[in-house]
Structure 1
Amino acid sequence: MSENPLSTNMTRAGTVAASDDAEMFELAPVSLWLEDYSDLRALFARWREEGVTDLREFFREDSSRVAQCSVCIRVVKVNRKTLTLFEAENVEQLIGGLDRVFRDDMLKEHLEELIQLWSGQLQFLSQTVNYTLSGRRLDVLLRGTVLPGHEQNWDRVLVAVEDITELERARHRVAVGAQYARGLFEHSPVSLWVEDFSSVKTLIDEIRAQGISDLRVFTDVHPEFVERCMEEIHVIDVNQHTLQMFCAPDKKTLLSRLRDVFRDDMRPHFREQLIDLWDNKLFQQREVINYSLEGNVVNVHLQFSVLPGHEQNWDLVLVALTDITARKKAEAYLEFLGKHDVLTKLRNRSFYIDELNRLERKGPFPVTVIIADLNGLKSINDQLGHASGDAILRRAGEVFAKAVEAPQYAARIGGDEFALLLPGVDERGGAAMVESIRHLIDMNNQFYPGAQLSFSIGVATCHRGERLEATVQHADLLMYEEKRAFYANTPEDRRGNKHVD
């Protein structure tokens, strides 16, 4: 009986296919494991018979049950890539060291594979940790499938293990970098705002397209445009220092009350910011005024930058605010000291000289000058002490501060000498001011016990074309005449001396 050629060819083809499959398994560039899960399936069946329905809860009650499942899995064979990956010389060495390959973090992830199989899935996927025989950690992506024809007893399961260690390291570096950047943002010692100005750019582009060439002139005519742009700013995030600076309990509260932060004196500054943006100045810095949620003024140094890569639409902007309120207060106090007398709180001699020069040049005329000299200061200092002398000077400051208001000024120009500059006031107004001062002195003396407040006063008026310096000298002479008259009528002191101040 002759041999059937078709049958012979089919047998040969099957042999070749089986040989090809074996070679592909052996030479695959990924780690492949052919494993027998039949004992695991039998264990699952026994647990079901014992009434187990929730495998996750069953494992939670006793975590050693995960390891019990692991020992049910038998390795049938592995490919060359597997031996290389796990640093094994042969299959026997690898199988003998499986307790070092599958350990620690592996069991926790293995639980997820088991639950997938328990739920009836014939494929499973998990990311887990294995170890080489030398102890080197491997992050792996594990894919398993029950091979066709073995669904009833799971005696042939193909598992592919992909080494993703470098990928995980890269992801870790990215995560650490992001965490580091977030930490720098959140805990920066200055207030940081991440904002979206894209809608502001759209508004600016729209009016530019309408032929507007000068934003300053445009906003002079249409100030509402500045307000509209302010409303179009979208705040994406702020850091912790921002909450502290603006007295906000949390980000949600701050972002819901931005109108309370950016208002009033902020608008002129924001207008200048818009004009700079119009001129394509994408990095700016200036001093501006904001407000805390408690209503307090917050002076800040603002640094504004459109972040690189976002120059086309301004959708990512970083704003840094440094609180300079304390510095501004110090500057204001230093400016105050430069122009004021600390004891009386009136203007000082330096301001008085500058204001005289300004009035000499610009007026308005007439300008009335009042020179007042405090009577009896030396006697008060000698008899009652310098603290009493300082107190009487402070009372003098109260009287003159009450008598004038800008653009009129009162200044202490010497130890016990004061001057009032009254621009736009004629002789009649000067006389009325002297009468008002006398009245305030009487009220002050009624309020304060002890030494009496008393002044010798001279008043003179300078008209256009006259020298203001001559007017000051004339007022000074009149003051000295009144002072001589005051001391001529003053009794001798207990030492027999006339008072001379």
Structure 2
Amino acid sequence: MSLWFEDYSALHVLFEQWRQAGVQDLAVWLAEDASRVKACAAAMRVVRVNRQTLAMYGAQSTEELMARLGDVVRDDSMAGFASELVQLWQGHGAFHSVSVNYTLDGRRLDISLKGLVLPDRERPWDQVLVMLEDVTELQDARRLAQANERFARELFGQAPVSLWVEDFSQIKVLLDEVRVGGITDFRTFLDVHPEFVRRCQAEIRVLDVNDHTLQQFSASSRAELLGRLADVFQDEMYESFAEQLNDLWHGRLFQQREVRNRNLDGELLYMHMQLSVFPGHENDWSMVLVALTDITARKKAEAYLEYLGQHDVLTKLKNRSFYTDEIDRLLRKRVKPISCISLDLNDLKESNDAGGHAAGDSLLRRMGEVLAKAVDPPASVARIGGDEFMILLPGVDLQGAQAVVDDIHRLMALNNQFYGGLPLSVSIGTATAEQSGDLAKALHVADLEMYRNKRLHHAHRQAGTS
């Protein structure tokens, strides 16, 4: 995947200036003057890109790509870019668009863009991760099919996406029978009668598939694939197929959604599916075209982006962003009681002074190992600062919290036996909110107790060296 790590902090400043100037509808504001979109583009700084990006755009180096961004993003890219800006303006932490870029040798690229604003490092929006997917082949295939139906058969055979021609006529018969039977709320009907979904699924008749489908589903021949459709359409397909049926019930003969299938080797595939009833077959659904684009790599990249947004990379624990969201969630759910444990790693500065940051990072990773083993869901533990951690224990009283503290001390002792060097030591404070509305106070009490223990630790340490 093409990944761009960018700094949007100057764009954030520009947005704030516009807000102060009274701008409310950014879409209208940008449409009034094209130079405003270009001003936004100029406020965005690319920090680095991965090697796949250089290969996608035909650049020899990052420096060459950065120097020629004007060749990559042209006037016909502005509509998609403006859509991204509006999403950011509206406060979304993630944004997406479909747009057009160009390679350095002038070739057009249709791209699907997704971005995620990572937790701020120094300034708002100073860390933005952007993922680009080249969907040129899929878009070219669609344009060709729409432009000239005479090329449909050749396109079907050579298309770089998985294409299926299917017969849904028996499914239409079944839906018509249900409608005649007086059913009006079809979604509820499907919820009450899951066997109907299975029955419709069994009535799909595959008429043909293209060569790319055989490759994508690890089939040696059409006969093998069609003979093993039960291995492809497993339980992962049930929910999405029920949604397809509901759309067909309401007359939506063109659909697109993400689905999950399996190839004949049993591997899970994430697909972007487009379903359309062929023109002239709207009355019987006897010819349906299904196009499947493998988005497994994209889904893995999205999962990684989500992981980055909620985890501390060094300790593998949750980060402060997750911690803040979790507090809000617990307050909304009115969970009670909630115990909290505030922890501060002792002697981190001394470790850094003696062995450099690598030594301090080692201590933090070890602390992460201990806390990850001591806490199980629905409890959570997050690194909320340099050497500060917080454990949230929903539904756990003070006695239960003390049991977690005892486990932490036990696991630290084992960890110190295994690792040489400076031993793990931590200052801990504990408190319990009997009512969810008392959580803020409990967090404060836990912090105060932790800081008292921190001062005692330093006092004992100084006494031992004097």
Compute the displacement of 1:338 (Å). 1.1
Query: Which one of 298, 303, 325 corresponds to residue 327 of structure 1?
Result: 298
Compute the displacement of 1:491 (Å). 5.4
Residues 1:394 and 2:365 aligned together: yes
Paired with 1:253 and 1:392, the residues of 2 have a C-alpha distance of: 55
User: CA 1:347–1:254 in 2, change beyond 3 Å: closer, same or farther?
Assistant: same
User: CA 1:178–1:476 in 2, change beyond 3 Å: closer, same or farther?
Assistant: closer
Query: Which one of 440, 446, 457 corresponds to residue 469 of structure 1?
Result: 440
Counterparts of 1:372-383 in structure 2 under 5 Å? Answer: 372-383=343-354
User: CA 1:247–1:389 in 2, change beyond 3 Å: closer, same or farther?
Assistant: farther
Identify the range of structure 1 (334-343 vs 245-254) with the bigger mean alpha-carbon deviation.
245-254
Residues 1:484 and 2:455 aligned together: yes
- Structure 1: stretches of 5+ with no match in the other structure: 1-176
- Give the match for residue 238 of structure 1: 209
Residues 1:336 and 2:307 aligned together: yes
Residues 1:208 and 2:164 aligned together: no
Query: Which one of 247, 254, 276 corresponds to residue 225 of structure 2?
Result: 254
Deviation by residue 1:203-238 (Cα, 9 ceiling, x = unmatched): 111221222222111111111110111111011111
Paired amino acid for 1:198: S
Paired with 1:484 and 1:392, the residues of 2 have a C-alpha distance of: 20
Paired with 1:485 and 1:382, the residues of 2 have a C-alpha distance of: 21
Deviation by residue 1:98-150 (Cα, 9 ceiling, x = unmatched): xxxxxxxxxxxxxxxxxxxxxxxxxxxxxxxxxxxxxxxxxxxxxxxxxxxxx
Greater relative contact order, per chain length (Cα 8 Å cut-off, separation 6+): 2
Paired with 2:435 and 2:341, the residues of 1 have a C-alpha distance of: 18
Paired amino acid for 1:460: A
Name which one, 1 or 2, has greater alpha-carbon Rg: 1
Paired with 2:334 and 2:377, the residues of 1 have a C-alpha distance of: 14
Matched residue SS, 1:467: helix
Compute the displacement of 1:292 (Å). 2.0
User: CA 1:294–1:444 in 2, change beyond 3 Å: closer, same or farther?
Assistant: farther
Counterparts of 1:267-282 in structure 2 under 5 Å? Answer: 267-282=238-253
Counterpart contact for 1:363–1:423, Cα < 8 Å = no
Compute the displacement of 1:363 (Å). 2.7
Residues 1:458 and 2:433 aligned together: no
- Give the match for residue 152 of structure 1: none
Deviation by residue 1:445-483 (Cα, 9 ceiling, x = unmatched): 223333322211111000116521111111011111212
Identify the range of structure 1 (422-431 vs 478-487) with the bigger mean alpha-carbon deviation.
478-487
Deviation by residue 1:63-102 (Cα, 9 ceiling, x = unmatched): xxxxxxxxxxxxxxxxxxxxxxxxxxxxxxxxxxxxxxxx
Compute the displacement of 1:341 (Å). 0.8
Paired with 1:223 and 1:391, the residues of 2 have a C-alpha distance of: 52
Counterpart contact for 2:338–2:436, Cα < 8 Å = no
- Give the match for residue 333 of structure 2: 362
Counterparts of 1:369-448 in structure 2 under 5 Å? Answer: 369-448=340-419
Deviation by residue 1:428-460 (Cα, 9 ceiling, x = unmatched): 111111111112212222233333222111110
Counterpart contact for 1:360–1:467, Cα < 8 Å = no
Counterpart contact for 2:164–2:291, Cα < 8 Å = yes
Counterpart contact for 1:393–1:416, Cα < 8 Å = yes
Compute the displacement of 1:286 (Å). 0.8
Counterparts of 1:52-201 in structure 2 under 5 Å? Answer: 181-201=152-172
Matched residue SS, 1:335: helix
Identity across matched positions, percent: 58
Compute the displacement of 1:294 (Å). 2.2
Identify the range of structure 1 (364-373 vs 447-456) with the bigger mean alpha-carbon deviation.
447-456
Paired with 1:329 and 1:454, the residues of 2 have a C-alpha distance of: 37
Deviation by residue 1:150-200 (Cα, 9 ceiling, x = unmatched): xxxxxxxxxxxxxxxxxxxxxxxxxxx999543311221111111111111
Compute the displacement of 1:487 (Å). 2.1
Paired with 2:406 and 2:243, the residues of 1 have a C-alpha distance of: 49
User: CA 1:465–1:212 in 2, change beyond 3 Å: closer, same or farther?
Assistant: closer
Paired with 1:343 and 1:489, the residues of 2 have a C-alpha distance of: 30
Deviation by residue 1:235-287 (Cα, 9 ceiling, x = unmatched): 11111221222222222222222222222221111101000001111111111
Counterpart contact for 1:403–1:437, Cα < 8 Å = yes
Paired amino acid for 2:157: E
Paired with 1:351 and 1:465, the residues of 2 have a C-alpha distance of: 18
Query: Which one of 185, 195, 202 corresponds to residue 224 of structure 1?
Result: 195
Residues 1:346 and 2:305 aligned together: no
TM-score, normalised with respect to structure 2: 0.65
Compute the displacement of 1:311 (Å). 1.1
TM-score, normalised with respect to structure 1: 0.61
Paired with 1:465 and 1:353, the residues of 2 have a C-alpha distance of: 15
Residues 1:284 and 2:255 aligned together: yes
How many residue pairs match? The answer is 319
Paired with 2:225 and 2:360, the residues of 1 have a C-alpha distance of: 52
Paired with 2:211 and 2:436, the residues of 1 have a C-alpha distance of: 63
Matched residue SS, 2:431: strand
Counterparts of 1:10-25 in structure 2 under 5 Å? Answer: none
- Give the match for residue 131 of structure 1: none
Counterpart contact for 2:331–2:437, Cα < 8 Å = no
User: CA 1:178–1:366 in 2, change beyond 3 Å: closer, same or farther?
Assistant: closer
Counterpart contact for 1:194–1:235, Cα < 8 Å = yes
- Give the match for residue 117 of structure 1: none
Residues 1:303 and 2:274 aligned together: yes
Paired amino acid for 1:489: H
User: CA 1:465–1:243 in 2, change beyond 3 Å: closer, same or farther?
Assistant: closer
Paired amino acid for 1:282: L
Paired amino acid for 1:265: E
